[in-house]
Amino acid sequence: MERRTREYLSGRFGDYYRRSDTPVPPAAADREWGHIPFTEGEGTTMVRHQSLLDVAGGPEQLGEFLARESPRHVYFSAARYDDPSNRTMAQKGWRSADLVFDLDADHLPGVDPETDSYTEMLRECKDALLDLLDVLTTDFGFGDDELEIVFSGGRGYHVHVRDPSVRGLDSEARREVVDYVRGIDLDRDGLIEKRPNDRGTLQKTLRAEGGWGRRVHERLLAYTDALLNADEETALARLQELDGVGEKTATTIYGVLQNNPEGVRSGNVELGPGASTLIRALADRVLAEETAPIDEPVTTDVRRLIRLPGSLHGGTGFVVRRLDREVVDDFEPTRDAVAEQFRDQRIMVEVTEPGPVPVGNGPSDDSFTIEGGTRSVREFVGVFLLARGRAEKAAE
Protein backbone atom coordinates (compact mmCIF):
# COMPACT_ATOMS: atom_id res chain seq x y z
CA MET A 1 0.00 0.00 0.00
CA GLU A 2 1.53 3.29 -1.08
CA ARG A 3 1.84 6.24 1.30
CA ARG A 4 -0.86 8.28 -0.47
CA THR A 5 -3.29 5.35 -0.24
CA ARG A 6 -2.49 4.71 3.41
CA GLU A 7 -2.91 8.35 4.36
CA TYR A 8 -6.14 8.64 2.41
CA LEU A 9 -7.71 5.56 4.05
CA SER A 10 -6.51 6.57 7.50
CA GLY A 11 -7.98 10.04 7.04
CA ARG A 12 -11.32 8.80 5.79
CA PHE A 13 -11.57 6.13 8.49
CA GLY A 14 -11.04 8.93 11.01
CA ASP A 15 -13.79 10.96 9.32
CA TYR A 16 -16.10 7.95 9.60
CA TYR A 17 -15.47 7.61 13.33
CA ARG A 18 -15.94 11.33 13.93
CA ARG A 19 -19.40 11.12 12.40
CA SER A 20 -20.41 7.75 13.89
CA ASP A 21 -21.58 6.56 17.27
CA THR A 22 -19.59 3.36 17.95
CA PRO A 23 -21.29 1.40 20.76
CA VAL A 24 -19.28 -0.54 23.32
CA PRO A 25 -20.00 -4.15 24.36
CA PRO A 26 -21.33 -5.01 27.83
CA ALA A 27 -18.69 -4.82 30.58
CA ALA A 28 -16.41 -2.97 28.17
CA ALA A 29 -14.00 -1.93 30.94
CA ASP A 30 -13.38 -5.59 31.87
CA ARG A 31 -12.28 -6.62 28.39
CA GLU A 32 -8.94 -6.53 26.61
CA TRP A 33 -8.82 -4.17 23.64
CA GLY A 34 -6.62 -4.22 20.57
CA HIS A 35 -6.26 -2.52 17.23
CA ILE A 36 -4.15 -2.60 14.08
CA PRO A 37 -3.03 0.83 12.81
CA PHE A 38 -2.30 1.82 9.25
CA THR A 39 1.44 1.18 9.03
CA GLU A 40 4.04 1.21 6.30
CA GLY A 41 5.03 -1.99 4.51
CA GLU A 42 3.22 -5.26 3.92
CA GLY A 43 3.06 -6.45 7.54
CA THR A 44 0.65 -5.45 10.27
CA THR A 45 1.25 -4.61 13.91
CA MET A 46 -1.31 -5.58 16.53
CA VAL A 47 -1.49 -3.26 19.53
CA ARG A 48 -3.13 -5.26 22.31
CA HIS A 49 -3.11 -6.00 26.06
CA GLN A 50 -4.92 -2.76 26.71
CA SER A 51 -7.96 -1.90 28.76
CA LEU A 52 -10.52 0.55 27.51
CA LEU A 53 -9.16 2.96 30.11
CA ASP A 54 -5.70 2.65 28.52
CA VAL A 55 -7.06 2.99 25.00
CA ALA A 56 -9.54 5.80 25.33
CA GLY A 57 -9.85 6.88 28.94
CA GLY A 58 -13.12 4.99 29.28
CA PRO A 59 -16.21 3.94 27.27
CA GLU A 60 -17.35 7.53 26.78
CA GLN A 61 -14.12 8.44 25.02
CA LEU A 62 -13.94 5.44 22.65
CA GLY A 63 -15.28 7.48 19.73
CA GLU A 64 -12.66 10.18 20.32
CA PHE A 65 -9.89 7.57 20.34
CA LEU A 66 -11.11 5.97 17.10
CA ALA A 67 -11.43 9.34 15.38
CA ARG A 68 -7.95 10.36 16.51
CA GLU A 69 -6.11 7.09 15.78
CA SER A 70 -8.29 5.94 12.83
CA PRO A 71 -7.19 2.29 13.19
CA ARG A 72 -7.34 -0.16 10.34
CA HIS A 73 -8.99 -2.84 12.51
CA VAL A 74 -10.48 -2.74 16.04
CA TYR A 75 -10.94 -5.69 18.41
CA PHE A 76 -12.11 -6.49 21.92
CA SER A 77 -11.95 -9.72 23.89
CA ALA A 78 -14.79 -12.15 24.35
CA ALA A 79 -13.35 -12.60 27.85
CA ARG A 80 -13.82 -10.46 30.93
CA TYR A 81 -10.79 -10.03 33.18
CA ASP A 82 -9.76 -8.58 36.54
CA ASP A 83 -6.80 -6.86 34.87
CA PRO A 84 -7.35 -6.77 31.09
CA SER A 85 -4.25 -4.67 30.39
CA ASN A 86 -1.82 -7.11 32.01
CA ARG A 87 0.55 -8.32 29.30
CA THR A 88 0.73 -11.82 30.78
CA MET A 89 -2.36 -13.85 29.90
CA ALA A 90 -2.09 -15.95 33.07
CA GLN A 91 -2.13 -12.81 35.22
CA LYS A 92 -5.06 -11.06 33.59
CA GLY A 93 -7.42 -12.82 35.99
CA TRP A 94 -9.90 -14.51 33.63
CA ARG A 95 -13.48 -14.29 34.89
CA SER A 96 -15.69 -15.44 32.05
CA ALA A 97 -16.17 -15.16 28.29
CA ASP A 98 -19.01 -14.73 25.86
CA LEU A 99 -19.72 -17.78 23.71
CA VAL A 100 -18.68 -16.64 20.23
CA PHE A 101 -19.28 -18.29 16.86
CA ASP A 102 -17.50 -17.38 13.64
CA LEU A 103 -18.61 -18.29 10.13
CA ASP A 104 -16.01 -17.68 7.44
CA ALA A 105 -17.11 -17.89 3.80
CA ASP A 106 -13.69 -19.17 2.72
CA HIS A 107 -14.03 -22.24 4.95
CA LEU A 108 -17.52 -23.38 4.00
CA PRO A 109 -17.89 -26.82 2.42
CA GLY A 110 -18.84 -26.50 -1.21
CA VAL A 111 -17.33 -23.00 -1.51
CA ASP A 112 -14.30 -22.56 -3.74
CA PRO A 113 -12.62 -19.15 -3.28
CA GLU A 114 -10.85 -19.66 -6.61
CA THR A 115 -14.07 -19.90 -8.63
CA ASP A 116 -16.88 -18.46 -6.47
CA SER A 117 -17.29 -14.71 -6.38
CA TYR A 118 -17.10 -12.75 -3.14
CA THR A 119 -20.84 -12.11 -3.30
CA GLU A 120 -21.64 -15.77 -3.90
CA MET A 121 -19.50 -16.83 -0.95
CA LEU A 122 -21.20 -14.30 1.33
CA ARG A 123 -24.63 -15.57 0.31
CA GLU A 124 -23.59 -19.14 1.13
CA CYS A 125 -22.29 -17.86 4.44
CA LYS A 126 -25.62 -16.22 5.25
CA ASP A 127 -27.36 -19.55 4.67
CA ALA A 128 -24.95 -21.10 7.17
CA LEU A 129 -25.70 -18.24 9.58
CA LEU A 130 -29.43 -18.97 9.38
CA ASP A 131 -28.73 -22.64 10.17
CA LEU A 132 -26.61 -21.61 13.16
CA LEU A 133 -29.28 -19.24 14.47
CA ASP A 134 -31.89 -21.97 14.16
CA VAL A 135 -29.76 -24.35 16.25
CA LEU A 136 -29.00 -21.71 18.87
CA THR A 137 -32.61 -20.61 19.29
CA THR A 138 -34.44 -23.92 18.78
CA ASP A 139 -32.05 -26.48 20.26
CA PHE A 140 -30.31 -24.39 22.92
CA GLY A 141 -33.23 -22.09 23.65
CA PHE A 142 -31.35 -18.79 23.49
CA GLY A 143 -33.61 -15.79 22.98
CA ASP A 144 -32.98 -13.07 20.42
CA ASP A 145 -32.05 -10.70 23.26
CA GLU A 146 -29.21 -13.07 24.26
CA LEU A 147 -27.67 -13.17 20.77
CA GLU A 148 -25.71 -10.44 19.01
CA ILE A 149 -25.48 -11.08 15.27
CA VAL A 150 -22.70 -9.27 13.44
CA PHE A 151 -21.51 -9.06 9.85
CA SER A 152 -17.74 -9.23 10.22
CA GLY A 153 -17.10 -6.63 7.52
CA GLY A 154 -15.07 -9.19 5.59
CA ARG A 155 -15.88 -12.79 4.78
CA GLY A 156 -18.62 -13.81 7.17
CA TYR A 157 -20.56 -13.42 10.38
CA HIS A 158 -20.08 -13.54 14.13
CA VAL A 159 -22.66 -14.50 16.74
CA HIS A 160 -22.04 -13.52 20.37
CA VAL A 161 -24.04 -15.43 23.02
CA ARG A 162 -24.22 -13.36 26.20
CA ASP A 163 -26.42 -15.61 28.30
CA PRO A 164 -24.83 -15.68 31.80
CA SER A 165 -25.25 -19.47 31.92
CA VAL A 166 -22.58 -20.01 29.22
CA ARG A 167 -20.00 -17.39 30.15
CA GLY A 168 -18.23 -19.69 32.62
CA LEU A 169 -17.78 -22.60 30.19
CA ASP A 170 -14.19 -23.75 29.75
CA SER A 171 -12.63 -24.71 26.41
CA GLU A 172 -13.61 -28.38 26.68
CA ALA A 173 -17.25 -27.55 27.36
CA ARG A 174 -17.24 -25.14 24.43
CA ARG A 175 -15.79 -27.87 22.22
CA GLU A 176 -18.82 -30.02 23.10
CA VAL A 177 -21.04 -27.14 21.96
CA VAL A 178 -19.07 -27.01 18.69
CA ASP A 179 -19.48 -30.77 18.21
CA TYR A 180 -23.23 -30.48 18.67
CA VAL A 181 -23.63 -27.50 16.33
CA ARG A 182 -21.56 -29.26 13.65
CA GLY A 183 -23.21 -32.64 14.25
CA ILE A 184 -19.86 -34.29 14.89
CA ASP A 185 -20.03 -37.95 15.95
CA LEU A 186 -23.83 -37.98 15.97
CA ASP A 187 -25.00 -41.49 16.92
CA ARG A 188 -27.40 -42.18 14.05
CA ASP A 189 -28.46 -45.56 15.41
CA GLY A 190 -29.02 -43.95 18.79
CA LEU A 191 -31.74 -41.79 17.28
CA ILE A 192 -34.00 -44.86 17.44
CA GLU A 193 -35.00 -46.48 20.71
CA LYS A 194 -37.51 -49.16 21.71
CA ARG A 195 -40.44 -47.85 23.71
CA PRO A 196 -43.57 -49.63 24.98
CA ASN A 197 -46.73 -48.95 23.01
CA ASP A 198 -50.34 -49.04 24.22
CA ARG A 199 -50.37 -52.82 23.61
CA GLY A 200 -47.54 -53.31 26.08
CA THR A 201 -45.03 -54.36 23.45
CA LEU A 202 -41.87 -52.57 22.38
CA GLN A 203 -41.74 -50.64 19.13
CA LYS A 204 -39.00 -48.72 17.40
CA THR A 205 -39.50 -45.01 18.01
CA LEU A 206 -37.52 -42.05 16.76
CA ARG A 207 -36.26 -39.68 19.44
CA ALA A 208 -38.26 -36.77 18.08
CA GLU A 209 -38.66 -34.59 21.17
CA GLY A 210 -35.76 -32.27 20.38
CA GLY A 211 -32.28 -31.82 19.03
CA TRP A 212 -31.08 -33.67 15.97
CA GLY A 213 -33.74 -36.34 16.52
CA ARG A 214 -36.43 -33.71 16.05
CA ARG A 215 -34.74 -32.48 12.89
CA VAL A 216 -34.49 -36.00 11.47
CA HIS A 217 -38.15 -36.60 12.34
CA GLU A 218 -39.15 -33.44 10.50
CA ARG A 219 -37.15 -34.66 7.49
CA LEU A 220 -38.87 -38.07 7.75
CA LEU A 221 -42.29 -36.40 7.70
CA ALA A 222 -41.43 -34.32 4.65
CA TYR A 223 -39.94 -37.38 2.93
CA THR A 224 -43.05 -39.44 3.74
CA ASP A 225 -45.36 -36.74 2.34
CA ALA A 226 -43.29 -36.59 -0.86
CA LEU A 227 -43.45 -40.37 -1.29
CA LEU A 228 -47.18 -40.60 -0.66
CA ASN A 229 -47.89 -37.72 -3.05
CA ALA A 230 -45.98 -39.53 -5.82
CA ASP A 231 -47.14 -42.55 -7.78
CA GLU A 232 -46.02 -45.93 -6.43
CA GLU A 233 -43.37 -46.52 -9.09
CA THR A 234 -41.73 -43.15 -8.43
CA ALA A 235 -41.92 -43.64 -4.65
CA LEU A 236 -40.28 -47.07 -4.80
CA ALA A 237 -37.56 -45.75 -7.08
CA ARG A 238 -36.80 -42.91 -4.67
CA LEU A 239 -36.57 -45.30 -1.74
CA GLN A 240 -34.14 -47.48 -3.65
CA GLU A 241 -31.86 -44.48 -4.16
CA LEU A 242 -30.97 -44.81 -0.47
CA ASP A 243 -27.90 -46.86 0.37
CA GLY A 244 -28.86 -50.36 1.53
CA VAL A 245 -32.48 -50.22 0.36
CA GLY A 246 -33.35 -52.76 -2.29
CA GLU A 247 -36.63 -53.51 -4.00
CA LYS A 248 -38.00 -55.75 -1.23
CA THR A 249 -37.11 -53.37 1.60
CA ALA A 250 -38.47 -50.40 -0.36
CA THR A 251 -41.77 -52.20 -0.88
CA THR A 252 -42.01 -52.98 2.85
CA ILE A 253 -41.31 -49.40 3.90
CA TYR A 254 -43.69 -47.95 1.33
CA GLY A 255 -46.47 -50.27 2.49
CA VAL A 256 -46.06 -49.25 6.11
CA LEU A 257 -46.03 -45.55 5.17
CA GLN A 258 -49.24 -46.00 3.22
CA ASN A 259 -50.99 -47.97 5.95
CA ASN A 260 -49.80 -46.01 8.98
CA PRO A 261 -48.78 -42.45 8.12
CA GLU A 262 -50.05 -41.16 11.45
CA GLY A 263 -47.80 -43.61 13.26
CA VAL A 264 -44.81 -42.11 11.48
CA ARG A 265 -45.98 -38.65 12.49
CA SER A 266 -45.93 -39.73 16.14
CA GLY A 267 -42.36 -41.00 15.78
CA ASN A 268 -43.22 -44.68 15.26
CA VAL A 269 -40.66 -46.06 12.82
CA GLU A 270 -41.71 -49.72 12.71
CA LEU A 271 -40.99 -49.79 9.01
CA GLY A 272 -39.58 -53.28 8.78
CA PRO A 273 -35.94 -54.14 8.12
CA GLY A 274 -35.26 -50.85 6.32
CA ALA A 275 -36.13 -48.56 9.25
CA SER A 276 -32.60 -48.01 10.50
CA THR A 277 -31.27 -47.61 6.97
CA LEU A 278 -33.91 -45.00 6.18
CA ILE A 279 -33.26 -43.03 9.38
CA ARG A 280 -29.49 -43.09 8.89
CA ALA A 281 -29.85 -41.88 5.30
CA LEU A 282 -32.16 -39.03 6.30
CA ALA A 283 -29.90 -38.16 9.22
CA ASP A 284 -26.97 -37.85 6.81
CA ARG A 285 -28.99 -35.42 4.70
CA VAL A 286 -29.93 -33.36 7.74
CA LEU A 287 -26.31 -33.17 8.88
CA ALA A 288 -25.16 -32.16 5.41
CA GLU A 289 -27.79 -29.44 5.03
CA GLU A 290 -28.57 -28.09 8.51
CA THR A 291 -25.31 -28.09 10.48
CA ALA A 292 -23.37 -24.84 10.71
CA PRO A 293 -19.67 -25.09 9.70
CA ILE A 294 -18.42 -22.77 12.44
CA ASP A 295 -14.74 -22.09 13.01
CA GLU A 296 -13.95 -24.28 16.05
CA PRO A 297 -10.90 -22.37 17.40
CA VAL A 298 -12.93 -19.16 17.72
CA THR A 299 -15.60 -20.80 19.88
CA THR A 300 -13.24 -22.84 22.06
CA ASP A 301 -10.78 -19.99 22.69
CA VAL A 302 -11.91 -18.33 25.93
CA ARG A 303 -9.52 -15.39 25.37
CA ARG A 304 -10.36 -14.61 21.76
CA LEU A 305 -10.23 -11.09 20.33
CA ILE A 306 -13.15 -10.35 18.03
CA ARG A 307 -14.02 -7.40 15.77
CA LEU A 308 -15.84 -4.46 17.30
CA PRO A 309 -19.33 -3.92 15.86
CA GLY A 310 -19.61 -0.45 14.39
CA SER A 311 -15.93 -0.32 13.43
CA LEU A 312 -14.58 -0.44 9.89
CA HIS A 313 -12.91 -3.51 8.40
CA GLY A 314 -9.54 -2.45 7.06
CA GLY A 315 -9.57 -5.09 4.33
CA THR A 316 -12.82 -3.96 2.71
CA GLY A 317 -13.86 -0.61 4.17
CA PHE A 318 -17.22 -2.17 5.09
CA VAL A 319 -18.88 -1.50 8.44
CA VAL A 320 -18.79 -4.34 10.95
CA ARG A 321 -22.58 -4.30 11.18
CA ARG A 322 -24.68 -5.45 14.10
CA LEU A 323 -27.89 -7.04 12.74
CA ASP A 324 -31.28 -7.49 14.34
CA ARG A 325 -32.64 -10.97 13.70
CA GLU A 326 -35.55 -9.72 11.60
CA VAL A 327 -33.26 -8.06 9.02
CA VAL A 328 -30.84 -10.96 8.49
CA ASP A 329 -32.82 -12.55 5.66
CA ASP A 330 -32.76 -9.39 3.54
CA PHE A 331 -29.28 -8.20 4.51
CA GLU A 332 -26.89 -7.83 1.55
CA PRO A 333 -23.38 -7.10 2.90
CA THR A 334 -21.95 -5.55 -0.26
CA ARG A 335 -24.82 -3.06 -0.28
CA ASP A 336 -25.95 -2.67 3.33
CA ALA A 337 -22.51 -2.61 5.01
CA VAL A 338 -21.32 0.38 2.97
CA ALA A 339 -20.58 3.34 5.25
CA GLU A 340 -22.94 6.25 4.62
CA GLN A 341 -19.97 8.62 4.80
CA PHE A 342 -18.51 7.01 1.67
CA ARG A 343 -21.59 7.27 -0.56
CA ASP A 344 -21.64 10.95 -1.56
CA GLN A 345 -18.50 11.70 -3.55
CA ARG A 346 -16.25 10.32 -6.25
CA ILE A 347 -12.50 9.74 -6.05
CA MET A 348 -9.70 8.93 -8.47
CA VAL A 349 -7.93 5.58 -8.16
CA GLU A 350 -5.24 3.77 -10.13
CA VAL A 351 -6.68 0.28 -10.65
CA THR A 352 -3.93 -2.34 -10.51
CA GLU A 353 -6.19 -5.40 -10.42
CA PRO A 354 -9.13 -5.02 -12.81
CA GLY A 355 -12.15 -7.30 -12.76
CA PRO A 356 -15.47 -7.70 -10.93
CA VAL A 357 -16.15 -5.37 -8.01
CA PRO A 358 -18.71 -6.82 -5.59
CA VAL A 359 -20.08 -3.55 -4.26
CA GLY A 360 -23.63 -2.26 -4.81
CA ASN A 361 -23.01 -0.03 -7.79
CA GLY A 362 -23.73 -2.06 -10.93
CA PRO A 363 -26.58 -3.41 -13.04
CA SER A 364 -27.26 -6.28 -10.62
CA ASP A 365 -26.78 -3.93 -7.63
CA ASP A 366 -24.02 -6.12 -6.24
CA SER A 367 -21.24 -6.31 -8.82
CA PHE A 368 -19.73 -4.64 -11.84
CA THR A 369 -16.48 -4.91 -13.74
CA ILE A 370 -13.78 -2.26 -13.63
CA GLU A 371 -10.92 -1.86 -16.08
CA GLY A 372 -7.32 -1.11 -15.18
CA GLY A 373 -5.76 2.34 -15.15
CA THR A 374 -6.86 5.64 -13.68
CA ARG A 375 -10.59 5.64 -12.92
CA SER A 376 -13.12 7.92 -11.29
CA VAL A 377 -15.34 5.84 -9.01
CA ARG A 378 -17.82 6.38 -6.22
CA GLU A 379 -15.92 6.61 -2.97
CA PHE A 380 -17.19 3.39 -1.40
CA VAL A 381 -16.05 1.52 -4.51
CA GLY A 382 -12.66 3.20 -4.31
CA VAL A 383 -12.31 2.47 -0.59
CA PHE A 384 -13.07 -1.20 -1.24
CA LEU A 385 -10.48 -1.41 -4.03
CA LEU A 386 -7.84 0.41 -1.99
CA ALA A 387 -8.44 -1.69 1.12
CA ARG A 388 -8.28 -4.91 -0.89
CA GLY A 389 -5.00 -3.92 -2.50
CA ARG A 390 -6.56 -3.76 -5.95
CA ALA A 391 -5.85 -0.07 -6.51
CA GLU A 392 -3.78 2.84 -5.25
CA LYS A 393 -5.01 6.35 -4.61
CA ALA A 394 -4.48 8.57 -7.64
CA ALA A 395 -3.87 12.30 -7.52
CA GLU A 396 -7.09 14.28 -7.92
For residue range 60-106, what is the model confidence (pLDDT) as tens digits? Answer: 889 999 999 999 999 999 999 999 999 999 999 999 999 999 999 98
Are both 204 and 229 inside the same structural domain?
yes
Contacts of 213 (CB under 8 A, 6+ apart): 191, 206, 207
Contacts of 257 (CB under 8 A, 6+ apart): 224, 227, 228, 264, 271
Please check whether residue 331 is in contact with residue 339, taking contact to mean a CB–CB distance below 8 angstroms.
no
Are both 273 and 245 inside the same structural domain?
yes
Are both 141 and 211 inside the same structural domain?
no
Burial grade of 60 (CB within 10 A; 0-12, 13-18, 19 or more): exposed
Q: Does pLDDT of 319 surpass 80?
A: yes
The H or E element that residue 238 is part of is helix 232-239
Distance between CA atoms of 354 and 385, rounded to whole angstroms?
10
For residue 161, the model assigns a pLDDT of 97
Are both 110 and 44 inside the same structural domain?
yes
Are both 320 and 350 inside the same structural domain?
no
pTM of the model: 0.89
Final residue before a domain boundary, out of 271, 290, 309: 290
User: Which residue type occupies 301?
Assistant: D
Final residue before a domain boundary, out of 250, 275, 290: 290
Distance between CA atoms of 387 and 123, rounded to whole angstroms?
21
Verify whether residue 104 is a known catalytic residue: yes
Average pLDDT over residues 343-370: 79
Are both 75 and 102 inside the same structural domain?
yes
- In the structure, what pLDDT confidence band is assigned to residue 365 with cuts at 50, 70 and 90? very low
Are both 56 and 149 inside the same structural domain?
yes
Final residue before a domain boundary, out of 322, 340, 358: 340
Verify whether residue 243 is a known catalytic residue: no
Instruction: Catalytic residue, from 30, 98, 104, 131: name it.
Output: 104
CB neighbourhood size of 21 (10 A): 8
Kindly report the CATH number assigned to the domain that includes residue 270. Answer: 1.10.8
Please check whether residue 329 is in contact with residue 357, taking contact to mean a CB–CB distance below 8 angstroms.
no
Counting residues of the chain whose pLDDT is more than 70, the rounded percentage is 94
Instruction: Catalytic residue, from 102, 131, 301, 366: name it.
Output: 102
Lowest mean pLDDT among 22-26, 108-112, 231-235: 108-112
Are both 41 and 148 inside the same structural domain?
yes
Kindly report the CATH number assigned to the domain that includes residue 365. Answer: 3.40.5.60
Distance between CA atoms of 110 and 320, rounded to whole angstroms?
25
Distance between CA atoms of 342 and 104, rounded to whole angstroms?
25
Are both 67 and 51 inside the same structural domain?
yes
Average pLDDT over residues 34-49: 85
Are both 241 and 370 inside the same structural domain?
no
Q: What is the dihedral of CA 292, 293, 297, 303, to 10 degrees?
A: -30
For residue 271, the model assigns a pLDDT of 57
Verify whether residue 15 is a known catalytic residue: no
Work out how many domains the chain is built from and give that number. Answer: 3
Please check whether residue 181 is in contact with residue 191, taking contact to mean a CB–CB distance below 8 angstroms.
no
Please check whether residue 133 is in contact with residue 325, taking contact to mean a CB–CB distance below 8 angstroms.
yes
Are both 347 and 231 inside the same structural domain?
no
Are both 309 and 387 inside the same structural domain?
no
Give the domain extent around 234.
189-290
